[in-house]
Amino acid sequence: MTKTELQPETIQKLGSAAYPAFAMIAGMQLDLFTPLGTRPMDALQLAGELGVEPARLTPLLYALVAADLLTVSEGRFANTPEADHFLVKGKPAYLGGRHAFYTARYKELQQTAMSIRTGHPQAKLDFAAMSPEAMETYLRGLHPGTKAVGHFLANRMDFSTCRHLLDVGGGSGGLAIAISAVCPQLHVTVLEMPSVAPVTQRFIEEEGMAGRADVVTGNAVQGPLTGVYDVAVLRAFFQVLSVDEARQALRNLFRVLKPGSPILIVGQVLDDSRLSPTATVAFNLVFINVYDEGRAYTEHEYRCWLAEAGFTRIERVILPGGESLITAHKPV
């Protein structure tokens, strides 16, 4: 019996894994899912709607069928239920604007080997040094996903007794905006750096939330923080900090929360094995390229920091998509 020759199956699979992702990004950039939200179309009809050449559009359409974002029947293409729900502009759960986020992450990941060789992030994100234009572009790429997390939290958590929410490092303010839209009694304050705060204010005004949300400048790590809040939310915040900075931020936040108030941490959190969730294990490579010290930390690390700061009732759940939600409370 001839021994089966080893084949590079894993290598070939990984080498082509990005193709469906780039097809999705191109579809988002062209906004082809929106016209398909009205009716199925053939390539010629859709090309006319988009103002592009049918011959160049057709391979993308079939690639999106293979990627499970479109269906095709008798030459007519239609959105899958998922694409119709999330990628049709104007719908509440629209995520089509995330193409900028995905494009930036792929560009950063190409620097991984050099970041490791040099010991320095080769695609460093320096929020304090960004121009206002670059900052707004960056935040607009994150905004749809940030709002989606806010909607999720508003439907999952009970904010009925809360009156003042602090969104720490809220960026576009999308998370706070989404929660406030569902919880009308809630006033939200977004804490941001001076270089980011004016951009955050523009997002709040665009969303018509100027009367129910405000922006304050400050630094959760350096402190001191002002105000009193009965809930604090932090998304993708600790993963940009060093261990010492994370510990100090939690101590500062503990001081401005009312007794009994929760702190909600949403972001990339590793299991203690550092092997799961797999999406977080992979996304940790992005942090190598963009931050000096930040990275995905383990559940055990978060539990230690929170307990050290004085928080109790610490729980973690893994959310759809691989991010985690860690909740803890300031004792009564």
User: Tens of pLDDT along 139-181?
Assistant: 887 888 888 889 889 988 889 889 999 999 999 999 988 998 8
The pLDDT assigned to 131 comes to 87
Q: For the chain, what is the domain count?
A: 2
Do 152 and 201 belong to one domain? yes
Chain-centroid distance, C-alpha 136: 15
Q: Are residues 61 and 135 in the same domain?
A: no
Of 38, 63, 90, which residue sits at a domain end? 90
**72 and 115 housed in the same domain:** no
Question: In this model, does residue 3 exceed pLDDT 70?
Answer: no
Q: Is 73 among the domain residues?
A: yes
- Could you tell me the two tokens for 70? 């479109």
Domain match, 180 and 251 both: yes
Q: What is the pTM of this model?
A: 0.83
Amino acid at 209: M
CATH of the domain at 222: 3.40.50.150
- Residue 85 belongs to some domain of the structure: yes
75 closest CA partner among 84, 62, 88? 62
Averaged pLDDT for residues 215-243: 94
Q: Domain range holding 22?
A: 9-90
**pLDDT tens per residue across span 210-228:** 888 899 999 999 989 999 9
pLDDT in the model for residue 107: 95
Rounded to an integer, what distance in angstroms lies between the CA atom of residue 279 and that of residue 267? 11
